[in-house]
Amino acid sequence: MTLTETHTETHTETHTETHTETHTETSPRTAVAALARDVVKIYGRGDTAVRALDGATLSIPAGRFTAVMGPSGSGKSTLMHALAGLDTVNEGQVLIGDTDLAGLSERQRTLLRREHVGFVFQSFNLVPTLTAAENIELPLTLAGRRADRAWIDELVEMLGLADRLLHRPAELSGGQQQRVAVARALAARPRIVFADEPTGNLDSRAGEALLGFLRHAAHELGQTIVMVTHDATAAAYADQVVFLADGRVVGELPAPTVPEILSRMAGLGSAARSGKEK
Ligand SMILES: Nc1ncnc2c1ncn2[C@@H]1O[C@H](COP(=O)(O)OP(=O)(O)OP(=O)(O)O)[C@@H](O)[C@H]1O
């Protein structure tokens, strides 16, 4: 099953002229899920201006699991925010699917994110007053879309959450909370899921289970996933690792192994965590 086969575009009047969703239920997903081309992002002005992205170019392949690594301050979070439509850029082009974000208003970007982007954060970001089930369905509730019950049930089953659905986040372990967050990110069948250090607050066993699921989601469900991490063990679960330094993409490593990742990172002047010290 590919996600496009059952993904119904429910939005109408809110969409922009620049957004060309012309695919039918049988058309294949584009090979590139998101694209940044020569992107410059400057924070602040004058003497205090910081060039967080300095000509970053990156293509995110659809249906693959991509890890983004780089020294602290290299621009990973900034690039992720730009690709996810959370923030605008000063120069260059950012596309999600076929949509050029430059043509969109802030509200249109919000709607695009709601429809096409899922997020998983280090700190889980679940709503404490809602049950696990309600948290999982929150993106659909917000978008006014009806839950695809069979899909949600499948996610819950795959993530081993079936007996935790009526519990609130405080009654769940860290690993369970993060699995709820992953189910929430995938619930609306987004075009792309961004995960920012998703295993940062998990012990290694829970982290490995989560990373295994993310890889499964890419390979078996066709879900495009982009993960920012400092952890070489986590990055080695990905299909490819993209390396950033000084606001630019400086390398890519397909089929990465932990030693290769650590060696590349050492070349960038940063000590990546091997993940073993956890
Ligand atoms: N809101 C902001 N205002 C000013 N400068 C910022 C802002 N956000 C990020 N920066 C700067 O932009 C640069 C890139 O930051 P970014 O957070 O993207 O790096 P990163 O690679 O994600 O770092 P880390 O691994 O430490 O999280 C850094 O020099 C940072 O200090």
Q: What CATH class has 32-275?
A: alpha beta
Residue nearest to atom 2 of ligand 1 (CA): 43
- Please state whether beta strands 91-96 and 192-196 pair in parallel, antiparallel, or not at all (unpaired): unpaired
Counting atoms of ligand 1 from 1, which one is nearest the CA of 53?
14
pLDDT, averaged per 10 consecutive residues of the chain (278 residues), comes to 36 37 42 96 94 97 97 95 94 95 92 92 94 95 88 93 97 95 94 94 91 94 95 97 97 97 90 65
**Residue nearest atom 6 of ligand 1, based on CA coordinates:** 43
Q: How far apart are CA 168 and CA 135, in angstroms?
A: 9
For ligand 1, whether the C-beta of 21 sits within 6 Å is no
Going from N- to C-terminal start, the domains of the chain cover: 32-275
Distance (Å, rounded) from C-alpha 241 to C-alpha 16? 33
User: What is the spatial distance between Cα 274 and Cα 278, in angstroms, rounded to a whole number?
Assistant: 9
Instruction: Report whether residue 99 contacts ligand 1, using a CB cutoff of 6 Å.
Output: no
Q: Residue 184 is which amino acid? A: R
Q: Is the pTM of this model over 0.90?
A: no
Q: Which atom of ligand 1 is nearest to the CA of 79?
A: 18
Nearest CA to ligand 1 atom 4: 43
Q: Is any ligand 1 atom within 6 A of the Cβ of residue 77?
A: yes
The pairing of beta strand 91-96 with beta strand 32-43: antiparallel
Q: Give the model's pLDDT for residue 269.
A: 77
CB of 70 shorter than 6 A to ligand 1 = yes
Distance CA 262, CA 231 (A): 9
Residue pair 202/172 in contact (Cβ under 8 Å)? The answer is no
Q: Which helix (H) or strand (E) holds 180?
A: helix 174-187
In a 3-state reduction of DSSP, which class is residue 70? coil
